[in-house]
Amino acid sequence: MRYLLALVFFVGVAHAKPLDDQGLQRLEQLSEEFAIDIATLQQATEQATYQQSIIDAITRPWESRPWHQYRNLFLTEERLAAGLAFWEEHQQTLEKAEQEFQVPAEIIVAIIGVETYYGRHTGRYKVLDALYTLGFFYPKRSEFFSKEFAHYLNLVEQQGWELDYMKGSYAGAMGLGQFIPSSYLHYGVDFSDTGKVDMLNDKVDAIGSVANYFRQHRWRYGEPVVHLVSLSDEQAEPWLSKGLELPHQAQQLAEAGVAEAGELPDDAKVKLLGLEQADHTEYWLVRDNFYVITRYNRSPLYAMAVHQFSQQLKQARNDS
């Protein structure tokens, strides 16, 4: 019994983690920046619960795996079948979104499939807890997530939700398309024309909002996303970079002997990306639309999984 009481006390302390002086100072900054009453912010933090599992999750993301393992999480026959069923069910909405936002239907379907398996996995953490934990107890990203905490309070007021009702990912992303609060506020679309943006239950709004997100991030309709190239590791090494931006022009790589680059416009912006297969590295030239996908999630592995899944969906639908 003594051990059990000690364990309960330990768990309680670990999860009831109040703000320190720096956290309280951050609340004052947020109050001024977002025009939210300081008492409202304080009351929200008092309702929130620190979750160590959220810190654990963000420090061990799926994207830390090699490509040949990561892709197998998403490019499956089961997810493909679910995606085709989703496309069939929402064909008219997807056609409308593609026409209005100039974003391909297969990209929209792929995003929702990778993010939440078409609504099957929308997250198990309270968004309030996730943003409180990361915003005030994860120094590496505290500035970003504390702002999302404030955005969430504004979103709650706009939507009329209970503060601790909403659940999402460990990063505080919500709904079918997994939008963080600022993205929900800025890119959410009432595509079903009901008077309210509902990306949690309304698949029509989710489709429109994903399409709008890509349009606002300058998706180039009709342009390729990637090109597979044939290079040795030695040839590739000078052109690899860690950033997501596109640092080169196709002409530069063509002059360096990358044959496939010669098929692109000379001034096309590109980046060479290496993906780790089980027994070799696979090289791709990625273009503007690949960069746009990384605006949704900054991982190149994520962007490639979305692209390849979208192509699987498109091919399977054309073959049916």
Active site residues: 115
Taking CA 247 as the corner, what is the angle to CA 241 and CA 249, rounded to the nearest 5 degrees? 125
**C-alpha span between 48 and 28 (Å, rounded):** 17
CA dihedral 224, 210, 173, 297 (to 10 degrees): 10
Question: What residues contact 168, with CB distance under 8 A and at least 6 apart?
Answer: 122, 123, 125, 127, 130, 174, 175, 178
In sequence order, what are the beta bridge partners of 285?
227, 272
Q: Cβ distance 84 to 320 under 8 Å?
A: yes
Residue with tokens 């936002």: 101
Torsion angle defined by CA atoms of residues 37, 166, 63 and 303, in that order, rounded to the nearest 10 degrees = -90
Gyration radius of the chain over CA positions: 22
Distance in angstroms (rounded) separating the CA atoms of residues 116 and 199: 12
